[in-house]
């Protein structure tokens, strides 16, 4: 993970980001209060009225799980970043969720495209009801790409824990099969979309959804896979 961070934006975008950050009064990346943390997760804030803020305990628990099981140094106090903000470039791994409408402006879509092309990674988790809205917005980001189902033999399903049959099914929703879709840019998986699965609900405190511990463990293990894959590419 540390090696990935050292490579972060090491060519065309590093000069661009530094110039922009200085122009708006930033002199460094996000401030980490505790020196032990070397990685910050971020939750993506978007327009359209969808509840981008759903599952407030999810990323905290995922960070703790990754730190415990993979010896990472992820800050449990995750950030919130707007999709069109230059601050997006401070976070190598960004999570997006919600139940409803999603709207990306042209500037939002362009910013997200540049972020993903530069090495960033986006995990989208359909919290039920998001699917018909997020798909057309992703087309604004990469009009030339199609969301494709990620094959079960892809590294994302075995990066830390093995899921031979792809995504685990955490919540029933429409009782469809859980599926993992992806956007591949120049052969690299830059966006992973978990559909009919609801990993984020499984990451939340057990008291929120009262999921069995076995399901919560599956969700956290798959989340750890996504994190590890993103930082190993």
pLDDT interval class at 13 (50, 70, 90): very low
Residues 194-200, mean pLDDT to the nearest whole number:
95
> Which of these, 71, 14, 87, 21, lies nearest to 231 by C-alpha position?
71
Three-state SS at 213: helix
Residue 3 in tokens = 């090696």
Q: Is the pLDDT of residue 9 over 60?
A: no
Domain boundaries, the chain: 2-232
pLDDT at 37: 87
- Torsion over CA of 52, 119, 112 and 71, rounded to 10 degrees? 10
pLDDT at 4 over 80: no
pLDDT of residue 211: 87
174: left (phi over 0), alpha (psi -120 to 50) or beta: alpha
Query: What is the predicted pLDDT for the residue at 172?
Result: 82
47: which strand partners? 103
Q: Tell me, what's the pLDDT at 24?
A: 33
The CATH superfamily holding the domain 2-232 is Domain of unknown function DUF4159 (3.40.50.12140)
β-strands 188-195, 179-185 pairing? antiparallel
Contact 184, 148 (CB under 8 A): yes
Q: Do 112 and 83 form a contact (C-beta atoms < 8 A)?
A: yes
Q: Kindly state the average pLDDT of the residues 146-156.
A: 98
145: left (phi over 0), alpha (psi -120 to 50) or beta: beta
Q: What percent of the chain has pLDDT over 90?
A: 77
**pLDDT at residue number 55:** 94
**pLDDT of the residue at 209:** 83
Mean pLDDT of 191-217: 93
Q: What is the mean pLDDT of residues 44-69?
A: 97
- Name the band, by pLDDT with cuts 50, 70 and 90, for residue 93: very high
Angstrom distance (rounded) from CA 167 to CA 190: 17
Model confidence at 6: pLDDT above 90: no
Residue 1: pLDDT band by 50, 70, 90 thresholds? Answer: low
Can you give the pLDDT at residue 191? 98
Question: What are residue 103's DSSP bridge partners?
Answer: 47
Checking if the pLDDT of 201 tops 90, the result is yes
Q: In the chain, which ranges are E strands?
A: 39-45, 74-82, 93-98, 121-126, 148-149, 179-185, 188-195
Digit-coded pLDDT (tens) for 105-132: 999 999 999 999 999 999 999 998 999 9
212 pLDDT exceeds 50?
A: yes
């Amino acid at each position: 993970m540390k090696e990935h961070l050292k490579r972060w934006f090491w060519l065309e975008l590093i000069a661009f980001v530094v110039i922009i950050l200085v122009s708006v009064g930033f002199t460094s990346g996000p401030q980490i209060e505790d020196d032990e943390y070397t990685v910050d997760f971020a939750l993506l804030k978007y327009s359209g009225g969808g509840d981008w803020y759903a599952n407030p305990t999810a990323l905290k628990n995922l960070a703790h799980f990754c730190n415990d099981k993979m010896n990472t140094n992820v800050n449990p106090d995750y950030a919130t970043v707007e999709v069109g903000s230059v601050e997006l470039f401070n976070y190598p791994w960004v999570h997006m969720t919600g139940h409803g409408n999603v709207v990306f402006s042209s500037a939002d879509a362009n910013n997200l495209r540049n972020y993903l092309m530069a090495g960033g990674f986006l995990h989208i988790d359909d919290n039920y009801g998001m699917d018909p809205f997020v798909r057309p917005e992703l087309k604004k980001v990469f009009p030339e790409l199609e969301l494709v189902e990620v094959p079960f033999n892809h590294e994302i399903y075995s990066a830390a824990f093995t899921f031979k049959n792809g995504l685990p099914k955490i919540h029933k929703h429409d009782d469809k099969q859980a599926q993992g879709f992806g956007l591949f840019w120049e052969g690299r998986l830059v966006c992973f979309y978990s559909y009919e699965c609801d990993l984020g609900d499984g990451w939340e405190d057990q008291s929120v959804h009262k999921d069995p511990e076995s399901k919560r463990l599956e969700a956290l293990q798959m989340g750890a896979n996504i994190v590890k894959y993103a930082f190993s590419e």
